[in-house]
Chain A
Amino acid sequence: MRKTILSLGLAAAVALGVPALVAPAAQAAEGVAIPKMSWSFAAPFGTYDRAALQRGFQVYKEVCAACHSMNLLAYRDLADLGYNENEIKAIAAQYEVTDGPNDQGEMFQRPAVPSDRFKAPFPNVQAAKAANNGAAPPDLSLMAKGRIGGPDYIHALMIGYENAPAGFEMQPGLSYNKYFPGHQIAMPAPINPDGVTFADGTKATVDQQSRDVAHFLMWAAEPKLEQRHRLGVQVVLFLLILSGLLFVAKRRIWSDVH
């Protein structure tokens, strides 16, 4: 028995070990180690911090949204952040969106409603490129899952702007960022101290805003995380008990095998 358990353990170790060996390979290629933050959503029971999400949304709305779209999100999704229906309607109504064609065959402008997707800053990629030195700012909906390091990387990138070290040759129009692969990024430092005023009185340092916007972008990329964690804990408990019962059943049934 002990031998089989050992064997199973070895099998699991091999199964888990191979990808573990492989995973850091991708990270090592990027060069600079990004600071690991502690996130409220990281642990198996983890949830999003509603206050951080609302602050992060505010940073997105007032800073990032000037250039970055979030095409996969609708205003109604903001209910997850703790806003009620009226608040969401009010947020949506701040934006004018194009609808139509109407009965006359014409497109028209109207205030956005909760079922509308977040209004994008540019009508198309070409316009985004034209307004940004030829580099279109990427959509942020999945940013927290589309970069190695996820929210840690987003936070690091926001705080990583500094003067280029002496002798480092910069291309014109680019900024130095110690966490960006290659260090030359088209986006100028987006976050300024006290660039936003948080409604809950939290001091808007660069680090605070960076953490909050990374928190918000993680939610945007993985909105079902809390549901997933909750269900996961239940499923794992169920399977633990089931495994125990089946193990006992197996021992009992096998007890007459000589």
Chain B
Amino acid sequence: MAFQSDNKVVKWIEYRLPIFTLLDHAVGTYPAPKNLSYWWNFGSLAGLMLVIQIVTGIVLVMHYTPHTLMAFNSVEHIMRDVNYGWLIRYIHMNGASFFFIAVYIHIFRGLYYGSYKAPRELLWFLGIIIYLLMMATAFMGYVLPWGQMSFWGATVITNLFSAIPVVGESIVTLLWGGFSVGNPTLNRLFSLHYLLPFIIVGLVILHIWALHQHGSNNPLGIDKKDSRDTIPFHPYYTVKDLFGVAVFLLVFSLFLFFSPNFFGEPDNYIEANPLVTPAHIVPEWYLLPFYAILRSVPSKLGGVILMFAAILILFVLPWLDTSRIRSAQFRPVYKQFFWIFVANCLLLGVVGAKPPEGIWVLIGRLATVYYFAHFILICPLVGWFEKPRPLPTSINEAVLAKRRPATAAGE
């Protein structure tokens, strides 16, 4: 149905380019399940963080110098001499962490409620690709201030590619633009750090397009049947999303204004020095679980393969999970394993932050094995053997059944 308006300007534009119909379908009359919980806020929050990162990033580039001799001081110039430069830079720095917080909650929500299952597999794929590009972009961004952790992080991560047989060394030379991490490396990472966010924007548009094909999943995981199951996106979810935005920004502000270096490493306030290696080279917190997997494997190539496999395995999850039931609410066994999996991911994060010695090596290996076992063994087996609880007949009925006792008590 086309968008209706009496406004002449709107009509004139709409006749030539139906952009209002497009917007109306996307965030206006778009029918959304009426039972979405607050866990469904994190998609729009991730989108908000992407916009914040792009806007602050563009302003930072106006003052930043991508040169090994000047990068570190240009960041300090932003912090000290540029009007509100400290604010822009701290938003960007903490914004990266909060972007990942939003995306991680968004991903785990999808895992809990089976949002990756048919017919949303491509929607899920696009999400994984966005996540991969986010990690690449975040890593490159971390290199730009050219502190000690920037430099050594770049050295460690680019060196991973040398594990590839035969062509590994050549690939690393190509990445570096020379024979060590240097100015050409900084320049190409800067260039790509500026490019990738716009590719992410394109993928987000595809992600939303794919989402709107079958509509949002919901906490019950059952398909919507008729108009009683849905409500228009506006005003119901616009106001709910806005409330979420305000609360999320509130938490963000607490870190931004009162502990802006909480997520950072003190070592990155020391200018890069190729002759001095920091005691512990650690990546940003959001990469730690994968860093733990990388270091848990005694062979370098094996570690690299397993690290990438840890993310790529998400692509086959829609088929590894053999249950047709989407929501873990109706899957008593999967529900337990889901929370064990979450705990295991957090544990991997802790392992990634510890020096790889003593008991941590063993814990890291066990957690790595469990990470893959969850996908390869637990997901298919639970799907086969679990006896799911009965599903409600429709979203509407489930919502009414939940409301009725409450209303009765209130009257």
Chain A interfacial positions (CB closer than 8 Å to B): 4, 7-8, 11-12, 14-15, 17-19, 21-23, 25-26, 29, 44, 72, 77, 138, 141-142, 145-148, 150, 181, 221, 223-224, 227-229, 231-233, 235-236, 239-240, 242-243, 246-247, 249-250, 253-254, 257-258
Contact = CB atoms under 8 A, between A and B. Distances in A.
Interface in B350-396: 350, 353-355
- Closest CB pairs A-B (n = 3): A232-B257, A146-B269, A22-B353
Interface stretch (B58-66, B72-80, B177-185, B296-304): B72-80
B280 A253 contact: no
A12 B248 CA distance: 9
Interface of B: 34, 37-39, 73, 76, 79-80, 86-87, 90, 101, 105, 231, 235-236, 239-240, 242-243, 246-247, 249-251, 253-254, 256-258, 260-263, 265-267, 269-270, 279-280, 282, 285, 288, 342, 346, 349-350, 353-355, 399-400, 403
A170 B400 CA distance: 77
Contact of B350 (A8, A25, A229): A25
Contacts of B266: 145-148, 150
A141 B342 CA distance: 41
Given A25-B353, A72-B76, A235-B257, A228 B87 contact: yes
B250 A236 contact: yes
A84 B263 CA distance: 37
A184 to B, nearest CB: 15
A242 B282 CA distance: 38
Nearest to B251: A12
A240 B250 contact: yes
Nearest to B262: A19
Nearest to B245: A246
Given A239-B253, A246-B246, 4 more contacts: A8-B38, A146-B269, A243-B250, A254-B236
Nearest to A153: B266
B358 to A, nearest CB: 12
A139 B346 CA distance: 37
Contacts of B37: 4, 7
Nearest to A232: B257
A181 B278 CA distance: 12
A18 B253 contact: no
Contact of B240 (A15, A77, A250): A250
B246 A242 contact: yes
Contacts of B346: 14, 17-18, 21
B399 A258 contact: yes
A7 B235 CA distance: 23
A221 B269 contact: yes
A221 to B, nearest CB: 7
B236 A257 contact: yes
A90 to B, nearest CB: 23
A247 B79 CA distance: 35
Contact of A7 (B39, B247, B355, B403): B39
B88 to A, nearest CB: 12
A232 B399 contact: no
B250 A239 contact: yes
B239 A142 contact: no
B269 A145 contact: yes
B73 A18 contact: no
A228 B260 contact: yes
Contacts of B270: 138, 142, 146
A235 B403 CA distance: 37
A229 B236 CA distance: 35
Nearest to B399: A258
Contact of B247 (A8, A44, A258): A8
A73 to B, nearest CB: 9
Nearest to A20: B262
B356 to A, nearest CB: 12
8 contacts: A12-B251, A23-B262, A142-B76, A147-B266, A228-B87, A228-B90, A243-B243, A253-B239
**Residue of A19, A44, A240 with most chain B CB atoms under a 10 A cut-off:** A19
Contacts of B280: 26, 29
A72 B73 CA distance: 8
B18 to A, nearest CB: 28
Given A19-B262, A223-B80, A228 B353 contact: no
Contacts of B79: 224
Contacts of A145: 261, 266, 269
